[in-house]
Amino acid sequence: MNLLICIASPVNGLVRYSGCTVFATFMLIIYYLYILKFGKKKVNQMIDLAVLIPCYNEEKTIKKVVEDCKRAINDIPNATIFVYDNNSTDNTVKLAQEAGAIVRHEYQQGKGNVIRRMFREIEARCYVMIDGDDTYPAEEIPKMAEYVLHSNYDMVVGDRLSSSYFAENKRPFHGIGNKLVRGSINFFFDTDIKDIMTGYRAFSYNFVKTYPVLSHGFEIETEMSIFATVNNLAVKNHIIDYRDRPAGSISKLSTYSDGFKVLRLIFTLYRNYKPLQFFSFLALVLAILSIGFFIPNVWIPYEHTGKVLNMPTLVVCGFCFIAGIISFYSGLILDALQRKERREYEFRLQEATWKKENKD
């Protein structure tokens, strides 16, 4: 009898354990089927058009901008307007909600931080980003979205500089700054983007989901333009009419500090994206300096006297020439790494395309 009890006890425990396992597995299957039927649409829902409006203290204009956007997308099915508030202290949020926009928040200050949040959270076949200051015509949204949805452009640039910007803009040095930035980028990166710093753009799903947002502030538009150029993405210039801010609406862009950040960013991205050209130029400058000081101060006196009369100059010239050689080979190595990064980016584009097709 004792033997039977000893055998039966573990068997009963095993039966109870197996029963619990089967029940847990059954409940897991039921939960999975429920999610598959009712939750998948919510998690993986892909809208056709997302209008993204980053805002900071725009109570004077946000309601009109949202209403204009609603009229513009009235004939586009499955389109949604999102307003992303960046710590506004006025009635921006309330007025945006009253106008019918979905309002979300980004608490890290800076336009770049807001755009990072928007791009992470929204799933759409096309994105149109427009500022909340009522300086851009919302009626251009369907045309810009058309380029992305049906012509396979990755970024559409709302070009202010080819229309009314210089006549409408009343802020000093903004026109000169825009021309300087545009000329610098088009020269260094061999592109033809007409308006580098415009806040009115349309993006494809692939661009949004593969673009690493690194800038925090207003230099984000410059970073976008260079990123699209370097990675050979399809960019379309679309001319738009520009109007200046209405009375009482204050620009958040600082002409001098933000302008300096943009120029510094161009320098940094040129070094990062085109290291061979950058470090080859540095190597050339170092070589010219070393040779320029070496010949008149060391070589020619040596030819006449047979002695090195300026030993410190010889040492410095030697170090400069060696630094030039190191700079050149550093450019070669970094250029190889950059080419590898571009190949990997192509794979990320393919992965984004696959995810988009699965969500459609």
Give residue-wise pLDDT tens across range 291-327: 999 999 999 999 888 888 889 999 999 999 999 999 9
pLDDT bracket for residue 200 (50, 70, 90): very high
Residue 17: predicted pLDDT: 45
Percent of the chain with pLDDT over 70: 87
The CA distances from residue 291 to 20, 62, 63, 209, 316, in Å, are 84, 61, 65, 49, 11
Residue 174: predicted pLDDT: 73
Question: How confident is the model over 271-299, as pLDDT tens digits?
Answer: 999 999 999 999 999 999 999 999 999 99
Question: Could you tell me which residues come within 8 angstroms of residue 210 by beta carbon, excluding any fewer than 6 positions away?
Answer: 345, 348, 349, 352
Candidates 68, 69, 47, 66; CA nearest to 55 is 66
The token pair at 312 is: 């410190």
The amino acid sitting at 46 is: M
The token pair at 77 is: 């099915």
CB 96 within 8 A of CB 134: no
Reduce the DSSP state of residue 17 to 3 states and report it: helix
Q: Specify the pTM.
A: 0.79
User: pLDDT: is 290 or 10 the higher one?
Assistant: 290
pLDDT bracket for residue 236 (50, 70, 90): very high
Residue 278: predicted pLDDT: 96
Angle at 217 between CA 246 and CA 52, to 5 degrees: 60
**Which residue is it, tokens 């994105």?**
127
Helix axes 62-72, 141-151, angle to 10 degrees: 50
Which DSSP symbol is given to 131?
-
Q: Over range 227-242, report the average pLDDT.
A: 95
pLDDT bracket for residue 134 (50, 70, 90): very high
Average per-residue pLDDT for the chain: 87
The token pair at 263 is: 């120029």
Which DSSP symbol is given to 83?
E
For residues 74 and 232, give the distance between their C-alpha atoms in angstroms, rounded to a whole number: 33
Quote the radius of gyration of the chain (alpha carbons, Å): 30
For residues 99 and 221, give the distance between their C-alpha atoms in angstroms, rounded to a whole number: 27
The amino acid sitting at 49 is: L
E strand or H helix that includes residue 238: strand 235-239
Question: Could you tell me which residues come within 8 angstroms of residue 18 by beta carbon, excluding any fewer than 6 positions away?
Answer: none
Residue 23: predicted pLDDT: 55
Residue 258: predicted pLDDT: 77
Question: How confident is the model over 140-180, as pLDDT tens digits?
Answer: 999 999 999 999 999 999 999 988 787 777 676 677 888 88
Strand partners, 236: 156
Residue 3: predicted pLDDT: 42
Residue 267: predicted pLDDT: 93
Question: How confident is the model over 23-71, as pLDDT tens digits?
Answer: 555 565 665 555 444 443 344 478 999 999 999 999 999 999 999 999 9
Percent of the chain with pLDDT over 90: 67
For residues 142 and 354, give the distance between their C-alpha atoms in angstroms, rounded to a whole number: 25
End-to-end CA distance of the chain, in Å? 67
